[in-house]
Amino acid sequence: MNLQDFIRDIPDFPKAGVLFKDITPLLSNHEALIKCADTLAGYCPSDIKIDKVIGIEARGFILGGMIAERLGAGFIPVRKKGKLPYEVVSKSYGLEYGQDTLEIHIDAIKPGEHILIHDDVLATGGTAQAVYQLIEEVGGIVVQCNFIMELDFLNGRDKLNAPVVSVLNY
C-alpha cells in the first residue's frame, strides 16, 4: 500500500498559490490509517524508551494517541492557548501572518522523561520548534520528531535539534 495515494492535493488552499496536501483520505481509510501509525511507531528508536508522545493540536492528536499505544507510552496533548484546564506553560511563536501560542500542562512531563513529538505535517518548523521548547522548559528530553508528511522545500527540520522522520516527503 502506497500511503501517498491517500494524500489529496487541493490547489489554492488556504490561499492562492498554495497546493494543500490533505490527509483526510488517509485518515478515513482504515488500512491506510493503521499502516501510517505502524510505520511512524516503527521509526522510533529501539534503544530508548519513549515515555510520552506529544500530539500537537489538532491533527497531531489522531495518530499521536495511536503511536503512544503502540510504544507503551503516555499521550500528552499540546493545545492552543486557553484550551487546557489546569496550570500550563505557554510558548508563543510566529506564523506567516501573526502569532500563535501553544500550551502544555505544567505537570505533563517529569524531568528526564523521553518524549516523541508527533504532528501531521512539518512545514516551516515553527510549531514543532515551539513544542520542542515547551518540552525542554518542563524538563523533558525530545528523542525524535515524527510527521506524516514533510514539505522538504520549507526546511522545517533545520529548526529542530532532534532526529526528524516522516512517512511522506514532498
CATH classification of the domain holding 117: 3.40.50.2020
Q: Is residue 29 part of a domain?
A: no
Q: Is residue 30 part of a domain?
A: no
| Residue 19 Cα distances to 1, 76, 95, 139, angstroms | 24, 30, 18, 38
Q: What is the pLDDT of residues 9-55, one digit of tens each?
A: 999 999 999 999 999 999 999 999 999 999 999 999 999 999 999 99
Q: What is the pLDDT of residues 124-166, one digit of tens each?
A: 999 999 999 999 999 999 999 999 999 999 999 999 999 999 9
Q: Residue 29 in contact with residue 6, Cβ under 8 Å? A: yes
Of 18, 17, 29, 15, the closest CA to residue 4 belongs to 29
Q: Is residue 163 part of a domain?
A: yes
Q: Output the furthest CA–CA distance in the chain (Å, rounded).
A: 45
pLDDT, residue 96, reads 66
Per the structure, the complete domain to which residue 56 belongs is given by 47-169
Residue 98 above 80 pLDDT? Answer: no
- Number of domains, the chain: 1
Residues marked as catalytic: 59, 96
Q: Is residue 34 part of a domain?
A: no
Q: Is residue 1 part of a domain?
A: no
Q: Is residue 28 part of a domain?
A: no
pLDDT, residue 31, reads 98
Residue type, 152: D
Q: Is residue 38 part of a domain?
A: no
Q: Is residue 79 part of a domain?
A: yes
**b/e string for 73-93 if b means 16 or more Cβ within 10 A?**
bbbbbbbeeeebeeebbebeb
